[in-house]
Amino acid sequence: MTSKSCSQGCKIPLPFFYPSAEKLLFQHQTLVKFSNRHFFPNYESLFFALATQTEVKHLAMQLLVLLTVVLCSCPFSGASRIVGGREARAHSRPYIASLQIRGFHFCGGALINEKWVLTAAHCMEDTPVDSVRVVLGAHNLQRPDSLVQEFRVQESVQNPEYNPTTFQNDIHLLKLNDSAVITSGVRTIRLPVPNSDVAPRSNCSVAGWGDINDFGTSPRALMQTNADIISRQACNRSWGGAITNTMLCAATPGVLAKGFCSGDSGGPLVCRNRLEGAVSFSGRFCGNAMFPDVYTRVSSYLPWIETVIRQN
């Protein structure tokens, strides 16, 4: 179990705070039936989730969190932003997709042409494709929007070399059951230049509807934050050699918490208006610069992407 200090000096357990009973029940059912990875993109909280798959333990953990907060007088979060970021301007990222099951967002993605969305492989691992809906043109997921388009998944294609233990080749393609209509709220994003890489110190951005803190607080609207690329050599010093040439890393030294969080998995890392990465995994705490955020490097997979689209 991980914990985080409050200003009063007490400790609050981090995993598994659910803001509503409905969300608690849905995510409990999902944990039992499907993979946990798209809800918990970091190793420690993933391990904790796998170890606590009964409703009694879920409820006990939620009660423990609430009791600790009352005793410590520590508010959960007054921030209305992705970790260290801010709300995006409505429809300013028309390529972004929300992957949902029964109306609940669980992962992000990016529209790369009118019929295909790119996401992370761990998002779709053991996930029932028939239950997934791909939502485009959204900003606030809790409000009706005339620009929203919703699709079922016709084809779900995981990279054949995906490794769920190391998150190597963490990339997946979803073919929509119909072509997206290009509007002011729905557009495709350009893929990277073949064989290109993103240089260290490049300033990119990431966006999503994932949690805005380690307590599991979900935003209503799309959030965004900057992502400063660091070298793989520097990244590997934190990750013990797990980072390969097919990954990108981002961190912001000196900033306490800035980056992606649970629910942002599969979302787009954008550099100079190109889809350079897809959210893959992070460290113990969301936005912790000591353990840089890790993305799948999209340029490494262009031949595979082109082949899948051509053959399907």
**171-200 tens-digit pLDDT:** 999 999 999 999 999 999 999 999 899 999
Can you give the CATH number for the domain in which 194 is found?
2.40.10.10
In a domain, 13, yes or no: no
Residues 47 and 177 in one domain: no
In a domain, 281, yes or no: yes
The average pLDDT across 290-301 equals: 94
The neighbouring-strand residues paired with 96 are 110
CA angle 77, 219, 2 (to 5 degrees): 50
Where does a domain end: 38, 72, 106? Answer: 72
Residue 204's domain spans which residues? 190-300
User: pLDDT class for 217, splitting at 50, 70, 90?
Assistant: low
| Pairing, β 132-136 against β 149-158 | antiparallel
The pLDDT tens digits for 225-269 are 888 999 999 999 999 999 999 999 998 766 555 677 878 999 999
**Percent of the chain residues past pLDDT 90, beyond the cut:** 60
In a domain, 239, yes or no: yes
Residues 230 and 259 in one domain: yes
Find out whether 88 and 267 touch, Cβ atoms under 8 Å. Answer: no
Residue 225 tokens read as: 């934050």
The pLDDT tens digits for 51-78 are 333 333 444 444 443 443 333 333 223 2
| Backbone dihedral region for residue 61 (phi beyond 0: left; psi -120 to 50: alpha; all else: beta) | alpha
Point out the residues that are catalytic: 122, 170, 265
Q: What is the DSSP string of 110-137?
A: EEEETTEEEE-HHHHTT--GGGEEEEES
Residues 96 and 225 in one domain: no
Q: How many domains, in total, are found in the chain? A: 3
* Residue 215 predicted with pLDDT over 50: yes
The pLDDT tens digits for 31-56 are 333 333 444 444 443 333 333 333 33
3-state helix, strand, coil in the chain (%, to 5): 20, 30, 50
User: pLDDT class for 285, splitting at 50, 70, 90?
Assistant: confident
In a domain, 11, yes or no: no
Residues 111 and 145 in one domain: yes
Residue 172 tokens read as: 């997946």
Residues 27 and 47 in one domain: yes
Residues 65 and 146 in one domain: no
In a domain, 135, yes or no: yes
Residues 194 and 294 in one domain: yes
In a domain, 266, yes or no: yes
Residues 157 and 306 in one domain: yes
User: pLDDT class for 298, splitting at 50, 70, 90?
Assistant: very high
In a domain, 10, yes or no: no
Residues 306 and 183 in one domain: yes
The average pLDDT across 261-285 equals: 91
Distances 227 to 135, 251, 292 between C-alpha atoms, Å: 24, 6, 10
d(Cα 227, Cα 234) in Å, to the nearest integer? 15
Among residues 208, 189, 211, the alpha carbon closest in space to that of 271 is found at 189
In a domain, 12, yes or no: no
Find out whether 44 and 2 touch, Cβ atoms under 8 Å. Answer: yes
